[in-house]
Structure 1
């Protein structure tokens, strides 16, 4: 394995321990990011807005030294870093910023993730709104355009519905 480089890494944590691990990392002065989206949950007697994790059991960790890399594993609930072969999954600053931009947008509905690698659809650029300039792949479903933002280092997609007027060639 190569030496640890500064940047964002993906930490796998115990189920339902994402918030606890993020708080523990912040106490160690290590930047952690666990993206959530607000969704409507239907109960038997009511509907309630809840925060749902975009990537369950994953916490993005900003590593500045090899010491930080190893200290993160001492936090209660942290299991291991995600690896693909012998390489640790590293996420670029741009991808983290794209996720943050996606979550800040008020025009998005039905945000979800999946692990499918889509082959169909046109490649477009979002020309309006907080996500302008973002490359995306489009699926057309029931008169609404869905954008798929590929995060290669995680081999996952983020899917969100946006107004069709926001897309350009």
Structure 2
């Protein structure tokens, strides 16, 4: 039995540096269905403070295309190429794009991305903030910033908000 291909699928396009909004406008003007997830940030300059919309995922834009439109969508001076795995652009399920849209609709939710790949059981050291220098074992990761660390020296577990960029992995010394 052959799998039936959907006529349209979401794909991620890798954009030129800081060209996400320009590619979005370019593709929309060509009648492509696009999605550029944005987050609002309060920016401070020397003379003013202003709310700005920044791409949630730098250098990425999502486009919904058919096989026939596949190459037309990438034919822009702001596009670098499709995000691929094993040399093929991987379709993104509709439900994942909708989940991202729903998640970003809550304006009270602070949204950040983290590229760290910390795992339960790893030994980490806090390298910033009030717990700087403290080492412990990760027992749980609850979202982006809420972790449970066991501090053997204290004989207790601490639930705390620590930005993941304030943690570094520590190698066990034998």
Q: TM-score, normalised by structure 1?
A: 0.65
Q: CA RMSD in A?
A: 2.8
CA gap of 1:122–1:13, structure 2 versus 1, over 3 A, is closer
Q: Per-residue displacement from partner, 1:119-166 (whole Å, max 9, x unpaired)?
A: 23367xxxxxxxxxxxx67724886699xxxxxxxxxxxxxxxxxxxx
**Aligned residue number for residue 105 of structure 1:** 106
Residues 145 and 161, structure 2, Cα contact 8 Å, conserved in 1? no
**Aligned residue number for residue 58 of structure 2:** 56
Map 1:5-154 → 2, pairs under 5 A: 6-63=8-65, 65-109=66-110, 111-120=111-120, 121=140, 139-140=146-147
Instruction: After TM superposition, give the deviation of residue 49 of structure 1 in Å.
Output: 0.9
Higher RCO structure (Cα 8 Å, ≥6 apart) = 1
CA gap of 1:101–1:118, structure 2 versus 1, over 3 A, is farther
Counterpart secondary structure, 2:108? coil
CA gap of 1:88–1:57, structure 2 versus 1, over 3 A, is same
Counterpart secondary structure, 1:101? helix
Q: Which has the higher strand share?
A: 1
Decide which structure has the larger Cα Rg and report it: 2
CA gap of 1:97–1:145, structure 2 versus 1, over 3 A, is farther
CA gap of 1:45–1:77, structure 2 versus 1, over 3 A, is same
Counterpart secondary structure, 1:114? coil
Q: TM-score, normalised by structure 2?
A: 0.64
Counterpart secondary structure, 2:23? helix
Structure 2: segments with no counterpart, 5+ residues: 121-139, 149-158, 164-174
Structure 1: segments with no counterpart, 5+ residues: 124-135, 147-169
Q: Per-residue displacement from partner, 1:36-73 (whole Å, max 9, x unpaired)?
A: 1001112123321111110111110111x222111012
